[in-house]
A = this chain, B = another copy of it.
């Protein structure tokens, strides 16, 4: 309620509001730290492993698109069951700087850790590490490192590492490794864990030449080639000797000798990565590329890389930053979330963002609907070029989607439920292939991007292609019944505790949006549509299907049905479900989950968020209360949309706690899965929970619409949106909402809705409106027993 002076927007913040810190007390949650400290530029990702490579829970570097294939085998096979699946693999690991002190390797599980800290600096985009360690032999050293994955140079990452004696002289051996086919530990028996391929890389070239190291490998089945070069710079006392050696899977630079007090070794590794299809580049071509990149980075120096990094982040934060006054922990957490969203994507090329970004191998590194459903709705407003790139990636795989639809004997295109290469990789079709809503999610993301930008090339090109292809799917898949209504039967919606249902409300409404969006686009661009064979009759068919779309409703209970008949299903026996029974999917068969009224994740509630105009306020309130009582949030995709609707309906404490659950999902490892990689959808959801929840943003109409309302816990909430190229800055307090165009030329204006009032926001002056009083929303709807989010 009382903003302190240092919390003005665009003013410098205290450093600690930008830093994630882990110390020796956190060494028992190493896997989680590796994910939280992962660095990425949307193409190249490094997990936040220790420089010395051990202890480690899951080593991992990732290049967007680099993968191997593995066979899927089924106890009982079926027609069009995918026979191959993509699995993310790691290129050679260039992070490693191993240290021996006397005879002992630096290993924080041994000796004495006097100090240990890793700091992720969200503005600098680096990890600073400081360790003071006394070996079991009694030798003390201080190790520092700074690591970055360059946002400015796609292929480049670097480690700047030093060691010095703590007091007396020490013998050191320093091994800077570039290591291929590093062993990846098997994870516990969990259906959601990754499927590992050991030794996926076949060596093609290994070379060491002074301080320059190179490895080129290829994969066998996906036929990809990957090259990594490391250019070293070493500053060491003269008495140290340097050696280098190379084997097919490892190149190593070794410095050996004694360090006296006050002496130190600084070793900087400049690594460059590239991969390409085997047929597209020769070994030497790829080798030359990465060698030149690494060399250029070394020439420019680590300081220059840091400067570039800061500049890139300053630019990104200008739009991405969110101010959340009143809760220091969540202020830092939302910045952490935004940092990972910034570094998950890239504007160049046709690239998408896997569900875990490039932070871990969870879900086999696959792209799921998380991207279009939870990440692009954020990026569209803070980095639209990145959203464009991700949608162009879908478009680049449109032919595969048409082919898949033909294989399934469907019309139009069917995008994969999970994939890296564009092929369908789902091995459990009721929750994969049957989840056709992914196609509408893609269309929804197209419509949002097109609505928020002036990108005519995309609108009339890839965007139109995607809208038409997906509309054709629904038109052929759905059917009219005798009463003239249109139905979509036998699909699976977002809620994975139901499957193969009829008229899933989310799917139906999203398909309606898809059909209408395609019809609008085709009519707006008849020539482009004509090239796709779209004629007025087809458009009329889309409109007819959209208008007749069924919204299952239970008049007796006065609520919509998640799917036809849902509310007639038996209730879940929460009384006999223990706290240890969650997540339910690990303790109950699908047979039980599917037939009960138990909801894994927001489904109908998500429909009310995506298609808000389809429901009255009373319907939303009734639906929310009904489904809140049956939603167990066993998915990290759930808290955010529930939080948005809770906010809309005035249950602001619940909304705030749901926001907290979403934003802390990984920082506090709430699902015990962060070690597999970050939940980008949950991090994106955190922004949505704030901006759509407390900001009340809705974007389903021509203009942006805000219905802001703040919970007591937030003194001030400020965020930015890029709207047709202009940065709209929104500041909310308990008393007022302020809309500004801080960067715009004088003649720029943006129209928007604020609590039903149409505003015109002009450059140069803030448009300010009072916050209306909160309506009485009644008591908070109960969550399932024991499943309310933690109260803050």
Query: Which A residues lie at the B interface, using CB under 8 A?
Result: 72-80, 82, 85, 189, 191, 408-410, 426-434, 479, 481-482, 487, 489-491, 499-500, 502, 556, 564-565, 568-570, 585-592, 594-595
Contacts and interface: CB of A to CB of B under 8 A. Distances in A.
Contact of A73 (B73, B428, B500): B73
A570 B479 contact: yes
A487 B568 contact: yes
B79 A489 contact: no
A586 B79 contact: yes
The 5 closest A-B pairs by CB, nearest first: A75-B427, A490-B595, A479-B570, A76-B428, A489-B595
Given A481-B568, A500-B499, A568-B487, A74 B427 contact: yes
A196 to B, nearest CB: 14
Given A479-B570, A489-B569, A565-B502, A591 B408 contact: yes
Given A490-B594, A595-B490, A78 B589 contact: yes
A73 B71 CA distance: 12
A433 B589 CA distance: 10
B592 A76 contact: no
A482 B557 CA distance: 11
A72 B72 contact: no
A481 to B, nearest CB: 5
Most chain B beta carbons < 10 A, residue from A82, A409, A569:
A409
B482 A589 contact: no
Given A409-B588, A568-B487, A570-B479, A500 B594 contact: yes
Contacts of A191: 74, 76-78
8 contacts: A73-B73, A74-B427, A75-B426, A76-B431, A76-B432, A479-B569, A489-B570, A502-B595
A286 B131 CA distance: 69
A720 to B, nearest CB: 40
Nearest to A414: B591
Contacts of A502: 565, 568-569, 595
Stoichiometry, as copies per complex, reads 2
Given A73-B73, A589-B408, A594-B490, A78 B565 contact: no
Contacts of A430: 430, 500
A589 B75 contact: no
Contact of A79 (B82, B433, B589): B589
Nearest to A85: B75
Contacts of A570: 479, 487, 489
Contact of A78 (B74, B491, B590): B590
A591 B490 contact: yes
A592 to B, nearest CB: 6
Contact of A585 (B72, B74, B78, B585): B78
A585 B81 CA distance: 12
B73 A408 contact: no
Contact of A565 (B189, B432, B564, B585): B564
Contacts of A75: 72-74, 82, 85, 426-428
A742 to B, nearest CB: 48
Contacts of A589: 78-80, 408-409, 429, 433
A76 B585 contact: no
Residue of A76, A591, A594 with most chain B CB atoms under a 10 A cut-off: A591
Contacts of A592: 408-410
B591 A428 contact: no
Nearest to A576: B409
B591 A433 contact: yes
A73 B70 CA distance: 14
Contacts of A78: 191, 428, 585, 589-590
A482 B565 contact: no
Contacts of A499: 500
A490 B566 CA distance: 11
B591 A429 contact: yes
A489 B481 CA distance: 23
A80 B569 CA distance: 22
A82 B569 CA distance: 26
Nearest to A557: B482
Given A429-B589, A429-B590, 17 more contacts: A74-B75, A74-B428, A75-B428, A76-B428, A76-B431, A77-B189, A79-B587, A79-B588, A408-B592, A409-B588, A433-B589, A479-B570, A481-B568, A489-B569, A490-B594, A499-B500, A500-B595
A343 to B, nearest CB: 29
A82 to B, nearest CB: 8
A431 B591 CA distance: 11
Contacts of A564: 565
Nearest to A581: B409
A83 to B, nearest CB: 10
Nearest to A569: B489
A34 B421 CA distance: 46
A355 to B, nearest CB: 15
A630 to B, nearest CB: 15
A211 B80 CA distance: 55
A432 B75 CA distance: 12
A386 B499 CA distance: 41
Contacts of A568: 481, 487, 489, 502
A77 B187 CA distance: 14
A482 B591 contact: no
A48 to B, nearest CB: 28
Nearest to A595: B490
Contacts of A490: 569, 591, 594-595
Nearest to A592: B409
Contacts of A481: 568
B76 A426 contact: yes
A491 B569 CA distance: 12
Nearest to A564: B565
A333 to B, nearest CB: 31
Nearest to A568: B481
Query: Could you say which of A74, A79, A487, A491 has the most chain B C-beta atoms within 10 Å of its C-beta?
Result: A79
A195 to B, nearest CB: 8
A191 B74 CA distance: 9
A75 B426 CA distance: 8
A581 to B, nearest CB: 9
Q: In the complex, which of the residues A76, A77, A189, A586 has the most CB atoms of chain B within 10 Å of its own CB atom? A: A76
A75 B82 CA distance: 10
A78 B431 CA distance: 12
A762 B729 CA distance: 99
Given A74-B427, A409-B592, A591-B429, A556 B79 contact: no
